[in-house]
Amino acid sequence: MSKKFSDQYYLEEAPIKKAIAHLSIPMMIGMSVGTIYNVINAYFIGLLHNTSMLSAITLGLPIFTVLMAIGNVFGVGGGTFITRLIGQKDSEKARRVAGYTFYGSIIAGILISLLAMLFVNPISQLLGADAATFAYTKAYTMTLFAGGFIVVLNFALEQLVRSGGASKESMYGIFISTGLSLILDPLLILGLGWHVAGAALAMILAQLGSAIYYLYFLEKRSEHLQGFLKHIKISIKDQLEVYKIGISELLQSAFLIVSTLLLNNFAIHYGDNVVAGFGIALRIVQIPEFLAMGLFFGLIPFFAFNFASKNYARFKAGLSQAAWYIGGIAILFVGIVYLFRTPIIHLFSSDPSVLTVGTYILIAMLISALFNGFTGLFIGVFQAAGQGTATMVMSITQGVLYIPMILILHVTFGLHGVIWSMTVTEIITAVMGLLFFLAFQRKIKTPDLSGAKISTP
């Protein structure tokens, strides 16, 4: 492969806009397609006209978040480390880290799944299930945990694929999982009548399909990581380098889960219609969130590579351009969805009580969407640069802040406080991320890089 068309070319030399297009657009498309699947998943359950089932798959969302977080401990921690090693021209160590990431994610996934299966009843109750939703929530939870190690492995492998700048291949894997889901969802949910268990099983099998593709690409076609499967061990120092970023990803997800559990447990007191309304609004707002995530996830290898190679001018130019794109995506989507909010909610439910509260919840979440893309961008930059402390503090603060926020606002404003607590937390977290970034930026001294290739078309 010529240097001009290699993945490393886009990390190291391509004009900024061209690099962003190559690295981020496939990720944005892939993650958007995945988000559309989540919406369709709720749509098929909605066809059963059972609000308790719709509530159950909403209550079960933290389970998938847990499995994704475990995968990202290895995938994000290992992936950003691998990109920095590639930037330092150390592909041999990069392969060793990739092997450790692969085997570590499998072992961790199996252990977590086995442990969770032993406590499925209390876990279902902790998720916020009541008498009407318990059986459905338990069925959904058990099925997800039964194949949970596949989800963990898939997310770890996806990050490894991304670490070398192979964003198109990452997108192809998402296409595979989404395509399988769209086939399996109607078959398992409606055709075989497995309802919520069918929805969870379709998700597991779809993740297996993409994991197989990622494994094939990494072992046979990856520019830097071919042959990684023969490596298992790395030094304690290198393990710590993986975990100092990976654990922050776990903490961020853990607090997200705590936040979701608090939200579910408060919302369920106001009825299944409120839980279902949150579920619908969350799925709609995921579209701009996932577009922004696709953009900055695609650029994490770009930031890591240029930070490691000390090309700070290129690093900053890419960050500035990414921030403009994220702001534009958020404003455009929020404006369109706000204008058509009522007919959009009607696509998911015909229950008048769900429609009323769901529309109100959607407005609050649209305001959140204006800020959370920037929060993610800041965290992504800190991860890419190996800034463990900043990443950890941001991850912890985002979750810790939500706990007193929802408690105080619920006591003060009731249901209105529950609905707006997430929005207030997102705004404060975004401001905090900006302050951390300003402090980080002062540490980067841009040298005289007269030959640096940071031009834009």
Give the model confidence (pLDDT) of 272-297 as tens digits: 788 778 878 877 887 777 778 778 77
Instruction: Tell whether the model's pLDDT for residue 404 goes beyond 90.
Output: no
Question: What total number of domains does the chain contain?
Answer: 1
Instruction: Kindly state the average pLDDT of the residues 418-436.
Output: 87
Please report the pLDDT score of residue 375 as a whole number.
Answer: 85
Percent of the chain with pLDDT over 90: 2
Can you tell me the distance from the alpha carbon of 454 to that of 16, in angstroms, rounded to the nearest whole number?
A: 6
In a domain, 3, yes or no: no
In a domain, 6, yes or no: no
Q: Taking residues 367-376, report their average pLDDT.
A: 85
Roughly what angle, to the nearest 10 degrees, separates helices 195-220 and 148-163?
Answer: 40
Give the lowest-confidence range in 23-27, 125-129, 192-196, 324-328: 125-129
Residue 7: pLDDT band (50, 70, 90) is low
- For residue range 329-364, list pLDDT tens digits in order: 888 988 888 888 888 888 777 778 788 888 888 888
Mean pLDDT, the chain, whole residue set: 79
Which residue has 């268990």 as its token pair?
197
**Among 140-144, 262-266, 278-282, which range has the highest average pLDDT?**
140-144
DSSP 102-132: HHHHHHHHHHHHHHHHHTHHHHHHHTT--TT
Which pLDDT score, from 0 to 100, does residue 32 have?
67
- % pLDDT > 70, the chain: 88
Q: How confident is the model at residue 451 (pLDDT cuts 50, 70, 90)?
A: very low
Distance between CA 436 and CA 396 in Å, rounded?
14
The DSSP code sequence of 376-403 is HHHHHHHHHTT-HHHHHHHHHHHHHHHH
Give the pLDDT confidence score for residue 1 in this predicted structure.
44
Q: Are 357 and 341 in contact (CB under 8 A)?
A: no
pLDDT band, very low/low/confident/very high, at 2 (cuts 50, 70, 90): very low
Q: Residue 40: which domain range? A: 20-443
pLDDT at 4 over 70: no
pLDDT above 70: residue 246: yes
Q: What is the rounded average pLDDT of the residues 225-232?
A: 79
Q: In this predicted model, which residue has the larger pLDDT, 356 or 11?
A: 356
In a domain, 8, yes or no: no
**213 has pLDDT over 90:** yes
Q: Check pLDDT > 90 for residue 419.
A: no
- The predicted pLDDT at position 118 comes to 83
More confident residue, 251 or 382: 382
Report if residue 386 sits inside a domain.
yes
Buried b (16+ CB within 10 A) or exposed e, 24-63: bbbbbbbbbbbbbbbebbbebbbeeebbbbbbbbbbbbbb
Predicted local distance difference test score (pLDDT) of residue 36: 65
pLDDT of residue 325 exceeding 70, the answer is: yes
pLDDT, position 454 = 35
Give a yes or no: residue 15 inside a domain. no
Q: Does 449 fall in a domain? A: no
Residue 69 lies in a domain: yes
Q: Is 325 part of any domain?
A: yes
* Residues 144-200 pLDDT 10s: 888 888 989 998 898 888 877 677 787 788 888 888 888 887 888 777 877 777 888
State the pLDDT confidence band at 370, using cuts at 50, 70 and 90.
confident
User: How many other CB atoms sit within 10 Å of the CB of residue 271?
Assistant: 17
